Amino acid sequence: MIWLGIETANTPLSVAIVKDGKVLAEVVQNIKVTHSVGAMPAVEEIFAKVGMKPEEIDAITVSEGPGSYTGVRIGVTIAKTLAWTLQKPLVGVSSLQALAANAKLYTGVVCSLFDARRQNVYAAAYKNGETLIADTHVHIDGLMLQLAVLNEEVLFVGADVEQFWDKIVENLGERALCAPFTLHLPRATEIIAIAENKPLPAVEEVHHFVPQYRRIAEAEANWMKEQKQVDE
């Protein structure tokens, strides 16, 4: 079974090819190149490196979000188009679950997060494979409240943890742990590892694959608010 994994949900980019549980190649980078410029060249390059043709893969998996709207869409568009035109199944994996998987050997609470601007984050928390906080878009203060009540040490993972660190320590004190820097970038190999344990959807399902933004668009939120006011 040969997997192609793609991750472009936030600034980092990762692409990998895994064959029968062995990593053939993986790209992980965290440079400010827009995914529209960086992602397809990385895909092209990784196929060239492993000496494979696109049609030789058996399945594709992509980080379905949450994260930067545009970033998520670029990865999903590439994955959907490849999966549909090559007639391969497509599996979506949460960007937060994939990031937390970097610390899967840690037996305590792991919290993965991405900056969502204006003091908001996309975050999730897990313990030994169990989900404690499902993917959510939340103000950092709200996340701190949710984590504080656990009354446990929490290991934070993600390149954006640094900018919230003061706030985290203020709330959790010595119970806050920061993962080593080598674990802060999402990896396409972890996405593939998670996807391998999910059921393979039918190839026909590819068309209906949609990003998981975890947030409705601002214009839509405003419109819904207006509708509510009209109703009242």
Partner 1 sequence: MSKYILAIETSCDETAASIIKDGTEIVSNIVSSQIESHKRFGGVVPEIASRHHVEQMTLVIEECLKQANLTPAELTAVAVTEGPGLVGALLIGINAAKAFAFAHGLPIVPVHHIAGHIYANNLVQPMEFPLLALVVSGGHTELVYMKEHGHFELIGETRDDAAGEAYDKVARVLNLPYPGGPHIDRLAHEAEEAVPFPRVWLEADSYDFSFSGLKSAVINYKHNMDQRGEEIVPAAVAKGFQDSVVEVLTAKTLRAAEEYKVKQVIAAGGVAANKGLRTSLEATFKERNIPFYVPPLKLCTDNAAMIGAAGHYVYEAGIRGDMKMNGKPGLELDSWK
Summarize as ranges the residues that interact with partner 1 (CB under 8 A).
34, 36-37, 39-41, 43-44, 54-55, 69-70, 73-74, 76-78, 80-82, 84-86, 206-207, 210-211, 213, 217-220, 223
CB nearer to partner 1: give 67 or 158. Answer: 67
State the nearest-atom distance from the C-beta of 190 to partner 1, in Å: 22
Distance CA 179, CA 157 (A): 6
Distance CA 29, CA 9 (A): 13
Long-range (24+ apart) CB contacts under 8 A made by 160-168 are: 160/10, 160/113, 160/114, 160/115, 160/121, 161/113, 163/115, 164/113, 164/115, 164/121, 164/140, 167/140, 167/141, 168/144
State the nearest-atom distance from the C-beta of 112 to partner 1, in Å: 24
CB nearer to partner 1: give 74 or 194. Answer: 74
Q: CA–CA distance from 5 to each of 8, 59, 80, 81 (Å)?
A: 10, 9, 12, 14
Q: Which of 97, 143, 154 is nearest to 120 (CA)?
A: 143
- ∠67-113-166 over CA atoms, to 5°? 130
State the nearest-atom distance from the C-beta of 74 to partner 1, in Å: 5
CB nearer to partner 1: give 169 or 216. Answer: 216
State the nearest-atom distance from the C-beta of 180 to partner 1, in Å: 33
CB nearer to partner 1: give 145 or 221. Answer: 221
CB nearer to partner 1: give 39 or 125. Answer: 39
CB nearer to partner 1: give 31 or 219. Answer: 219
* Number of CB atoms found within 10 A of residue 63's CB: 33
State the nearest-atom distance from the C-beta of 9 to partner 1, in Å: 13
State the nearest-atom distance from the C-beta of 176 to partner 1, in Å: 34
22 φ, ψ to 5°?
-120, 135
* Two structure tokens written together for 155: 């290991």
Residue type, 53: K
CB nearer to partner 1: give 21 or 41. Answer: 41
State the nearest-atom distance from the C-beta of 162 to partner 1, in Å: 28
